[in-house]
Structure 1
């Protein structure tokens, strides 16, 4: 009786829908194409990279009075990107949070140089990216902004030093 339990199930039992034994090897892929790793399917032919949202800020820990480089990628459906942070205030402005816009290429890429003010608060800040689709109805003059995706990256603002520009 014990030999009957340890023996593998016959192929007819597996074909009829019975569960295989725990130690049986997994069946080979039949090549039906139902598990497609490229991200394409019969319903949606858009590659996955066109749907991704990414944000890169260089350097990650800038000084005050420094320029950072922001590289963005939004879904190809978006036509505009908005980057905002508390690290971007303008001199003399009472606004704590500042947003900077960037237009996207056809593939969804954008790059922007943003100045970290001499008067930016020190410490940790978040840089927020919003990928939006802006549509304008020219007849009635209404602009609709739809947020498609968002991303957040932390940066650390360090104190301004003259030595970053001159040999001290």
Structure 2
């Protein structure tokens, strides 16, 4: 009878650990989906921003081409968190340069369409940061659970693995300033 009770207790603990691991893996997947949505939103905003600046800054053709290339690389990186982080970081640099170039054109700065796009970009960058924090917190919890004893036994038996953090280099994720005064 004691052996049966022990077996039931061990089985119950294993089920509890397994279910907690599943829950944490789902939070990581949900967090990544949130990041992915925001990154796609930014990727869709970038061509609109380029188009609005392009008419004013015709001599910046190389910058426009670089943005198109970096955007394509970011979209092609898919769900590989490390590649995607590097590609998004690389895209942030020319986009920040694009916003800086736009500051040189008073008519463009006064354009309601440009200001709206610039504000949407800032909001999207903030949402990416919030989603990244949530995702990385979920990854931390999952990784701690996967690596902790006795969870590691259940995790190994059922194929749970540590997840990669989503990193964007701090210096490269600077949100371009938005000046709402059209003066």
TM bin (shorter chain): under 0.3
Compare relative contact order (CA 8 Å, sep 6+) and give the higher one, 1 or 2: 2
Which has the larger helix fraction?
2
Larger radius of gyration between Structure 1 and Structure 2: 1
Which has the larger strand fraction?
1
